[in-house]
């Protein structure tokens, strides 16, 4: 009898934990874009993440070389950057990879939007994001509009960019 009750209680705890850990993939728990130290890849200079955002909405992608979904997403983000530069900026932040390998990959993949390197993952910690890939949008005031955890499909990215374009036109 005790064993059965314990099993039921354990099942309830596990299911509850799983349900609370699941998300729709989008979140906006953080209010403001955090300030941490990163390296601007093209110039190899230290800067603050505060300098990443500017006078337009900025889509920021957190990625790593070991992450296959991240590498699949980056060309789509390159297209978004090229096709929408008048209304938004796109920025990438590599999390924790070797700097030399990161710069080589960026060149090899033909990525031309601004890239930053976060050696220690401080940005993930500040954003309370558990892992890459993660993509977020930050407005001109430094407020996080949305965070998407996990890879964005082409259609999801298109919808998010379209929504941003509609809101910036108003």
Q: How many CA atoms lie within 13 A of 69 on its CB side?
A: 13
Structural class in CATH, domain 25-169? alpha beta
Q: Is the pTM of this model over 0.85?
A: no
Q: What residue spans define the domains of the chain?
A: 25-169
Instruction: Report the SS3 class of residue 151.
Output: coil
- Record the tokens describing residue 127, joined without a space: 């954003």
| 153 phi and psi angles, rounded to 5 deg | -70, 165
Q: Which residues pair with 38 in a beta bridge?
A: 47
40 contacts: CB under 8 Å, gap ≥ 6: 46, 47, 114, 115, 116
- Record the tokens describing residue 141, joined without a space: 């005031």
What digits encode the pLDDT tens for the residues 41-66?
A: 999 999 999 999 989 999 999 999 99
What digits encode the pLDDT tens for the residues 83-131?
A: 999 999 999 999 999 999 999 999 999 999 999 999 999 999 999 999 9
């Amino acid at each position: 009898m005790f064993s059965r009750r314990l099993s039921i209680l354990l099942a309830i705890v596990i299911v509850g934990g799983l349900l609370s850990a699941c998300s729709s993939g989008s979140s906006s728990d953080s209010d403001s874009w955090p300030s941490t130290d990163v390296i601007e890849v093209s110039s190899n200079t230290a800067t603050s993440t505060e300098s990443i955002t500017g006078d337009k909405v900025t889509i920021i992608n957190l990625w790593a070389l070991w992450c296959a979904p991240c590498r699949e997403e980056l060309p789509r983000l390159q297209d978004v950057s090229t096709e929408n530069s008048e209304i938004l900026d796109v920025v990438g932040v590599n999390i924790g990879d070797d700097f030399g390998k990161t710069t080589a990959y960026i060149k090899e993949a033909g990525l031309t939007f601004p890239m930053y390197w976060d050696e220690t993952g401080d940005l993930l910690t500040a954003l309370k994001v558990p892992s890459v890939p993660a993509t977020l949008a930050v407005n001109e005031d430094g407020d996080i509009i949305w965070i998407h955890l996990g890879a964005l499909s082409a259609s999801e990215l298109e919808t998010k960019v379209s929504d941003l374009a509609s809101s910036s036109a108003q």
